[in-house]
Structure 1
Amino acid sequence: MIRLTCEENLRNIWGGGPWKFGDQILRLSKWTPDFDPAVHRTSTVVVWVKFPKLGQQYWDYEILMSIARGLGNPVGVDKHTLNRDFGFFALVLVEIDPAKPIPGKILVEEGEGKSFFQEVEVDKLPKFCKSFAR
């Protein structure tokens, strides 16, 4: 538990993630008075999702976060993607429900009646997610 006494610190920590320690991601959640860690169970996981062969015109933070919403709750975009260091895929961190299947592709609507199917790849699932349906 982290107690902050300054609104600025809260904004820096809350908006500064995702936080990584080694190869593990630390998820933050706001405290509620009824929270009990002994009975709390999470029903979501955070995974890196690749969008292979996605045109670089879509490599904008807001656009990538919007595309990722088709899979779950987007958390952030990889810094290499934002810096356009690599051109083979865009990488977005997404919170997903492991009980639901991850589609192999999602429909991206550009507006003005234009749309396309974007491939989706998830490389590393948490060990307890071996039964993910695809």
Structure 2
Amino acid sequence: MVTGASKSENENDGKRLVGDGDPHGDRPPDRGKQRQITNFWRPVSSPPLPQSESTEASLPTLPRPTDPVPKKSYARAVIIPQEEYEERLNKYCFALIGRLNFRFISLDEIISEVAGNWILKEKVKLIPMGKEFTIFQFDLERDMASIWRRGSTKLGGQYVRFQRWCPDFNIHEKPVNKALIWVRFPELPLEYWHEKVLLTMAKVVGRPVELDQRTKQVLYGNFTRVLVEINVQSERLEEIQVERKHPGIDAPF
């Protein structure tokens, strides 16, 4: 009976070793079951999720990038009255443009100096345009020519060089790049000493202004002088070729 009881106890001890892994027992724990217990340390690969067709269908469809939207232009064409425009245009046909620095002198002081020093037949009006540009509006062409042929004039302690006013003048696009020079025609025969002939010859060089007083009066016959407005950036002209028609023949020579 004792033997049976001992066998039962030994079986129970074996169960504890197998199930509980008792370190104080005589038998080592079962390694096969231990591997099954520690399997939870290994990374478990989860099965792939099933693709849902409804998920793809529910995504919003984004529009494709397009060209940038052009900005709207509000510029419109308009036709102005031609007669009124030409009326204003004629008021400035005898105008000159100069540059004056009004930092140390006022416009009223310049006007007073012009009225006191310039000998004019009619009035002149000064119109500041910005960026030191000033329009000198003359009522008489003769007054304009008398000031223009000086080349440069001293006003308010400043040397002012003039150029002719032109339509659509813009202070941002029209730099002062013109000058007045005297053009000589040496050893010109006296039959060519006519104002219209000399001004026509001077057009090749630039814009003719007027003749020299001695040329008009034919006081000396070795050369003629014509005041011409030229572009300082243009090439210098050394000589010209004059053509005319022979009396009774239409062909020029």
Does residue 106 of the first structure (1) align with residue 106 of the second (2)?
no
Query: Aligned residue for 1:3?
Result: 125
The structure with more helix, counted as a fraction of residues: 2
Please tell me whether Structure 1 or Structure 2 has the larger radius of gyration of its CA atoms. Answer: 2
Distance 1:95 1:66, change over 3 A: same
> Which residue does 1:119 correspond to in 2?
none
Query: Would you identify which runs of 4 or more consecutive aligned residues in structure 1 move more than 6 Å?
Result: 31-34
Task: Return the offset for 1:34.
Answer: 6.6
Query: Structure 1's 106 and 34: CA in aligned 2 closer, same or farther, altered over 3 A?
Result: closer
Task: Give deviations 1:24-56, integer Å, cap 9, x for gaps.
Answer: 9963644979765x9862121111011001111
Structure 1 pair 103–9 and aligned structure 2 pair: CA distance change class (3 A): closer
Give me the identity figure in percent: 24
Residue in structure 2 matched with residue 27 of structure 1 by the alignment: 162
Paired with 2:192 and 2:238, the residues of 1 have a C-alpha distance of 19
The corresponding residue for 1:14 is 144
| Number of the residue aligned with 2:120 | none
Which residue number in structure 2 is paired with residue 131 of structure 1?
A: none
TM-score under structure 2 length normalisation? 0.36
Deviation of 1:16 after TM superposition, in Å, equals 5.0
Partner of 2:61: none
Match of 2:64 in 1: none
Gaps of 5+ in 2: 1-110, 112-123, 127-137, 154-158
**TM-score, normalised via structure 1 length:** 0.63
CA shift at 1:9, angstroms? 4.2
Alignment of 1:12-91 (within 5 A): 12-14=142-144, 16=146, 18-20=148-150, 27=162, 29-30=164-165, 36=171, 41-91=175-225
Counterpart-to-counterpart distance in 2, 1:82 and 1:25: 28
Query: Is the CA contact 1:77–1:92 (under 8 Å) kept in the aligned structure 2?
Result: yes
Distance in 2 separating the partners of 1:31 and 1:97 = 14
Query: 98-107 or 39-48, which moves further after superposition?
Result: 39-48
Distance 1:26 1:85, change over 3 A: farther
Q: State the alpha-carbon separation in 1 of the partners of residues 182 and 205 from structure 2.
A: 11
Deviations 1:69-119 (A, max 9, x none): 01111111101011001110011111111222222211212133334xxxx
Q: 1:25 to 1:47 in 2, by over 3 A?
A: farther
Report which stretch shifted further, 70-79 or 38-47: 38-47
**Superposition RMSD in Å:** 3.3
* Number of equivalenced pairs: 110
